[in-house]
């Protein structure tokens, strides 16, 4: 014997279940389940003070190695590689060749006696730090093969520079540019 309402009851139950399941599923989703969200880059420096400290250290090392290359008459200028970008390395190699061709040598060491942060910016995990630096050249000389100084008598003992450093793929700062800064107020004594 057939129960007449049983088929209708089963159909209603299935229809109700379909409506309830549809209500639990979002109609439209902006999220693509095949894509993972991009992580936010970690800052290279947590503050301007940290950026300035790192830039000062790298810049001081850059100047020191440059002095050492001068002391050696321009020999092995590639040792400055960890502190400069490709353009800076090319410039340093050219300067070393010129020094060697003149049979000149450097004496004494440059002192960095004042550094001020000009700017610190970060984007996409890359830090750019610009600094003003005062180089004290009081004890620095450049002499030819006969020991005669090649430095002009009127050379300033304190010279201001503006340098830009940028982090590389490892997060290390390297010197991008180092230019004489005529605004020189950083070297006031």
HEC string of 84-124 equals ECHHHHHHHHHHHHHHHHCCCEEECCCEEEEEEEEEEEEEC
Quote the CA–CA distance of 151 and 103 in Å, as a whole number.
14
pLDDT score, position 10: 36
pLDDT score, position 185: 81
pLDDT score, position 3: 39
115 bridge partner residues: 133
pLDDT score, position 90: 96
Quote the CA–CA distance of 121 and 133 in Å, as a whole number.
18
Each domain of the chain, given as residue ranges in start order, spans 48-187
pLDDT tens digits for the chain (189 residues)? 443 443 333 333 334 334 334 444 455 555 565 676 666 667 889 999 999 999 999 999 999 999 999 999 999 999 999 999 999 999 999 999 999 999 999 999 999 989 999 999 999 889 999 999 999 999 999 999 999 999 999 999 999 999 999 998 888 999 999 999 987 688 876
Q: How is residue 45 annotated by DSSP?
A: -
pLDDT score, position 24: 46
pLDDT score, position 189: 61
What's the topology of domain 48-187?
Answer: Nuclear Transport Factor 2; Chain: A, (3.10.450)
pLDDT score, position 33: 59
pLDDT score, position 6: 39
């Amino acid at each position: 014997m057939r129960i007449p309402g049983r088929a209708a009851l089963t159909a209603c139950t299935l229809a109700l279940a379909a409506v309830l399941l549809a209500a639990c599923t979002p109609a439209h989703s902006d999220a693509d389940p095949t894509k993972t969200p991009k992580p936010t880059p970690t800052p290279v420096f947590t503050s301007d003070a940290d950026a300035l400290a790192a830039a000062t250290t790298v810049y001081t090392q850059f100047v020191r190695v440059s002095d050492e290359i001068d002391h050696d008459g321009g020999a092995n200028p590639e040792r400055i590689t960890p502190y400069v970008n490709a353009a800076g390395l090319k410039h340093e190699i050219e300067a070393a060749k010129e020094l060697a061709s003149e049979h000149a040598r450097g004496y004494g060491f440059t002192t960095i006696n004042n550094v001020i942060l000009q700017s610190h910016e970060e984007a996409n995990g890359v830090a750019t730090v610009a600094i003003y630096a005062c180089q004290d050249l009081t004890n620095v000389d450049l002499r030819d093969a006969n020991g005669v100084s090649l430095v002009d008598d009127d050379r300033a003992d304190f010279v201001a520079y503006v340098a830009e450093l940028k982090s590389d793929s490892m997060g290390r700062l390297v010197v991008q540019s180092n230019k004489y800064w005529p605004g020189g107020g950083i070297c006031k004594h």
